[in-house]
Amino acid sequence: MRLTYPRSFLSLLLIGFTIVSAPLLFALFSNAVAFERLADLSEKAVHSAVKVTQASRALVSAITSLERSARQYAVAGDAKFLEAYSANRVAFQGVIRQLRVMALSEAQRAEAVGIEKQEEAIHQAIMAAGPTPQLANRLVRDFAQLSERAHTLVSLGDQVIDEGIEQLRTQAVKSRNSVFWLMIALIPTAILLIASFTFLIARPITQVSEGIRGLGEGQFARPIRIEGPGDMVRLGEQLDWLRERLVTLEAQKTRFLQHMSHELKTPLTALREGSDLLSSGVVGNLNAEQHEIARILRENSIELRKLIEGLLNYSAVHAQTSYLDASIVQLRDVVKRVVNDRKLAIVAKNLRVDLNCEIVTAYCDEEKIRVVLDNLLSNAVKYSPEKGVVAIKLYKERSDAVIEVIDEGPGIAPAEREKIFEAFYRDANAPPAAIKGSGLGLSIVKEYVQLHKGVVEVLDGPGGRFRIRFPRKQADGAEEAA
């Protein structure tokens, strides 16, 4: 899948954060709007309902004062009571006017209009009749009705408040539900977005680290390409440039080694042939001392040749390290072949080889595994005491094939365990009896095992204990067939 990345890693991060936070910001915003609306609604509803109730109660007390002054006038007929009545009536009308401009329900409005009309009728009656006992009687009845209506208005106000509260509660429940469903929808979306951006951000980084690891492991064959933001792609191009440089350097090194070892061989052969001629006495008889010198010359030229062959071998190994010729291999057969090939040396040292091999198949490069085992076995034979035992174990562990080569020799000191795998490294404390080698065997072992994505380790003694382990991959079908 081809993805279009932004130009820089930073903008990828910024875009990622923005997109991931967008749904969350949206949720926050819509919550804020819902709560704002709720608060607004509740404030308005409660405020106006309370105002109406207050005005209704003021109306009740205005009616009471009006009644008192009207009835006093009807009974006593005094002009000062009529004045008081008029003043109270102005107050009453003020309250009614206030009520009329308020937000009233239908029932409240009808009740207010009714009260106003009835008061008007009472007023007309007072003005028409003047202070008489009949008026006094009528006032008692009429004012009783009027104040009852005013009380009804008060209770209607209470009812409006109750209804408002109920409406608020429903609204709150509705808001809560919509927030809940919004969250249910947004959380998976946010998680999905986070996962996608983590993948997009992590992918180029993983590719860089894989590229660097590949370089470290000497896998130069596969070009390094990084998919990602522009700056990461450029980093990939630089890594690939580095890979090409390493390939060139590697090739130069190998060529140099090959040429040098080749050039060294010719004069060396001449040296050896010369010393052979001297030893054989073809060019004249030698005395004992001269014989000894010819022998030393010959032995050293043989050793030098071995070293040079090791070098050639090593450069050949390097030339093909990044290449595996894999097939399904019966490892037990490889072990047996290696032991057979080393029979002469084993017999010469009177060694016993103890084989403990399970049937294990692996998808691997048979020749490289043979070289690995051969190097380990030849070291074991080399460092074993006379009449010692060399044990080879082969078994499966989870998806790995494991081979151990164990000898009864001096073993390897913990401090040396890392170093012995370096090319040309030879343990300075190795017993003098040990036949000198080139110091390349174990570095080849390590290189080949790593090529199989495996590891080689030195285990604690007694004696030398080497263990290699590499993934068998998909070799099981072949094993059942075996």
Interface with ligand ADP (CB under 6 A): 375, 379-380, 383, 407, 409-412, 420, 425-427, 430, 437-443, 464
- The CA distance from 306 to 151, in Å, is 123
- The CA distance from 261 to 249, in Å, is 18
Q: Are 350 and 429 in contact (CB under 8 A)?
A: no
Residues 425-439: b if buried by 16+ CB within 10 A, e if exposed = ebbeebeeeeeebbb
Question: Which CB, 243 or 465, lies closer to ligand ADP?
Answer: 465
- The CA distance from 436 to 418, in Å, is 20
Q: Are 421 and 291 in contact (CB under 8 A)?
A: no
Question: Which CB, 197 or 425, lies closer to ligand ADP?
Answer: 425
Burial class (CB in 10 A: 0-12, 13-18, 19+), 59: buried
Least separation in angstroms between residue 209's CB and ligand ADP is: 30
Q: Are 430 and 420 in contact (CB under 8 A)?
A: no
Q: Are 226 and 5 in contact (CB under 8 A)?
A: no
Question: Which CB, 274 or 437, lies closer to ligand ADP?
Answer: 437
Question: Which CB, 72 or 375, lies closer to ligand ADP?
Answer: 375
Q: Look at residue 47 and give its three-state secondary structure.
A: helix
Least separation in angstroms between residue 454's CB and ligand ADP is: 17
Residue from 245, 217, 261 nearest 448 by CA? 217
Q: Are 238 and 341 in contact (CB under 8 A)?
A: no
Q: Are 468 and 393 in contact (CB under 8 A)?
A: no
464 φ/ψ angles, rounded to the nearest 5 degrees: -85, 130
Question: Which CB, 235 or 444, lies closer to ligand ADP?
Answer: 444
Least separation in angstroms between residue 290's CB and ligand ADP is: 32
Least separation in angstroms between residue 443's CB and ligand ADP is: 6
Least separation in angstroms between residue 375's CB and ligand ADP is: 6
Q: Are 87 and 78 in contact (CB under 8 A)?
A: no
Least separation in angstroms between residue 471's CB and ligand ADP is: 24
Least separation in angstroms between residue 479's CB and ligand ADP is: 30
Question: Which CB, 146 or 412, lies closer to ligand ADP?
Answer: 412
Least separation in angstroms between residue 406's CB and ligand ADP is: 9
Question: Which CB, 67 or 447, lies closer to ligand ADP?
Answer: 447
Least separation in angstroms between residue 417's CB and ligand ADP is: 9
Question: Which CB, 362 or 403, lies closer to ligand ADP?
Answer: 403
Is residue 355 within a helix (H) or strand (E), and if so which, with residue range? strand 352-357
Q: Which residue is nearest to ligand ADP (CB)?
A: 437
Task: Locate 109 and state its tokens.
Answer: 């409005």
Question: Which CB, 98 or 313, lies closer to ligand ADP?
Answer: 313
Least separation in angstroms between residue 466's CB and ligand ADP is: 7
Question: Which CB, 362 or 458, lies closer to ligand ADP?
Answer: 458
Q: How many residues appear in the chain?
A: 482
Q: Are 425 and 439 in contact (CB under 8 A)?
A: yes
- The CA distance from 353 to 286, in Å, is 44
Is residue 408 within a helix (H) or strand (E), and if so which, with residue range? none
